[in-house]
Amino acid sequence: MKTRRHSSLPSKYWMILVAFCCVILLVIEAFTGGKGPLRFVANYTVIPMQKGISFVGGFMSDVSDNFQTLKEMKKENEVLQSKVDKLTIDNTYLRQEQYELERLRQLYQLDENYSDYKKTGAHVIANNGSNWFNDFTIDKGTNDGVQVNSNVLAGSGLAGIVTEVGPDYARVRSVIDDASNISAMILSTSDLCVVRGDLKLMADGRIRFEKLPNNDHPVEVGEQVVTSHVSNRFLQGLFIGYISEIKVDANNLTRSGYITPAVDFSRLQEVLVITSTKQDLLKDSEKEKEAGN
């Protein structure tokens, strides 16, 4: 059995030897002005460790600062986003109010253009589910003086006529509906024609007119078309639209073509309803004649 070899010097002598070496190194370091072996050893051991510790400390500090900055930026971003959302909502409301004001200005101008007739304003509350307001419902009825055959205005002129009415609602058939048939005339010549609705044409923004006499009266693109005095349901002189195309028919006796309506039937929101019908005005006129006699 092998025995473990022990050092020939006791531990206390090793401690004395190490202490003596440290003293010698310190003396040398003192006489060399800090450029001795301790400095050499420190350059390759302690200083790199210090640099590493300093780098790690700096990195952790940067991470902490960046994390704090990120939290602050996130908070600032939330505040800014809240302001942007509020400004977006305010801008939306402002644009809605601007559009509403523009529509009300159009209605006011329309009211001025037909100031001879008593009218009531109404909101469109429903249509027939199509892209065009060829048949729609308004929020005024008999309680507001609206009756069947009341003429309805919007945009720059005639929108349609009331076909059904209740106490607080009315149903309107617009001039573009396939069932619409209006006795009209060319404003510049007073020549009569018939304006018919045609939903197939509304994709091009047009309605049809026909049976215009082919006489010596020149009618050109841009002429205004209004309701005629011989219509039994529409009041005279209501603006329907502008002629956009005209041609002589095959019979060479009449002319026909297309009209650009005075109303945008893709987005109706407010209308004016003339509460007096054509029949009411005719009755009033007869009474005035009788009273004059």
Q: Is the model's pTM score more than 0.95?
A: no
E strands present in the chain:
119-127, 135-138, 151-154, 157-165, 170-174, 181-186, 192-196, 207-213, 224-227, 239-248, 254-261, 270-274
pLDDT confidence of residue 248 = 96
Give the residue-averaged pLDDT of 212-236. 95
What is d(CA 124, CA 192) in angstroms, rounded to the nearest whole number? 31
pLDDT confidence of residue 62 = 64
pLDDT confidence of residue 215 = 95
Kindly tell me if the per-residue pLDDT of 163 is higher than 60: yes
| Per-residue pLDDT band at 28 (split at 50, 70, 90) | low
Taking only the tens place, the pLDDT of each residue in 85-130 is: 776 776 665 666 666 667 667 777 878 888 889 999 999 999 887 7
Give the residue-averaged pLDDT of 146-166. 95
Beta carbons of 162 and 174 less than 8 angstroms apart? no
pLDDT confidence of residue 67 = 67
Kindly tell me if the per-residue pLDDT of 69 is higher than 80: no
